[in-house]
């Protein structure tokens, strides 16, 4: 079941992001940032286990630009299309706000290509989005791929 995240989900989201962050497959987020951006998050909950097994955030950057970020699925649930369902839910949410462009910085460009994202040069993104990057351990040597999707609604 996909739903908006609540405060009780923060520690599970943090654990998911940390797990993939340790592997170098995702940039981890500090707890303080997760609390700051709680309203951005969707979660996938295994209702039988009452456990959050996936998360994804849609963060607004500008009036017509948003980012899909922090997309992670518990390793025991990979292959069940949970990541795809979360990405689709984030795109549907973007539609309700009439967002025209959605981007992602990712280590898995093939995943985003399935949703119509195309690779772009990071320099095409507005400077405003780099505020979080200054705090990254990989700054300024970012090795993520920038992807963009132009929405046509």
Residue 30 pLDDT grade (very low, low, confident, very high; cuts 50, 70, 90): confident
Structural domain containing residue 142 = 2-150
The average pLDDT across 44-55 equals 94
Task: Give how many domains the chain has, as a whole number.
Answer: 1
97: Cβ contacts below 8 Å, ≥ 6 apart: 60, 66
What span, in angstroms and rounded, lies between the C-alpha atoms of 88 and 115? 8
Residue 60 pLDDT grade (very low, low, confident, very high; cuts 50, 70, 90): very high
For 111-122, b/e burial (b = at least 16 CB within 10 A) is bbeebebeeeee
Q: How far is CA 148 from CA 17, 57, 62, in A?
A: 22, 16, 14
Q: What is the pTM of this model?
A: 0.90
The CATH number that applies at residue 109 is 3.40.630.30
141: Cβ contacts below 8 Å, ≥ 6 apart: none
């Amino acid at each position: 079941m996909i739903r908006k995240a609540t405060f009780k989900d923060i520690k599970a989201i943090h654990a998911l992001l940390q797990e993939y962050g340790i592997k170098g497959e995702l940039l981890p987020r500090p707890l303080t940032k997760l609390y700051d951006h709680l309203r951005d998050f969707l979660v996938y909950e295994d209702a039988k286990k009452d456990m959050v097994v996936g998360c994804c955030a849609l963060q607004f950057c500008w009036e017509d630009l948003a980012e899909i970020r922090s997309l992670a699925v518990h390793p025991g649930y990979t292959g069940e299309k949970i990541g795809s369902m979360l990405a689709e839910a984030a795109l549907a949410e973007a539609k309700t706000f009439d967002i025209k462009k959605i981007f992602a910085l990712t280590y898995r460009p093939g995943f985003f290509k399935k949703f119509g994202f195309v690779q772009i040069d990071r320099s095409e993104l507005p400077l405003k989005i780099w505020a979080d990057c200054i705090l990254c351990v990989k700054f300024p040597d970012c090795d993520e791929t920038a992807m963009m999707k132009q929405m046509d609604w």
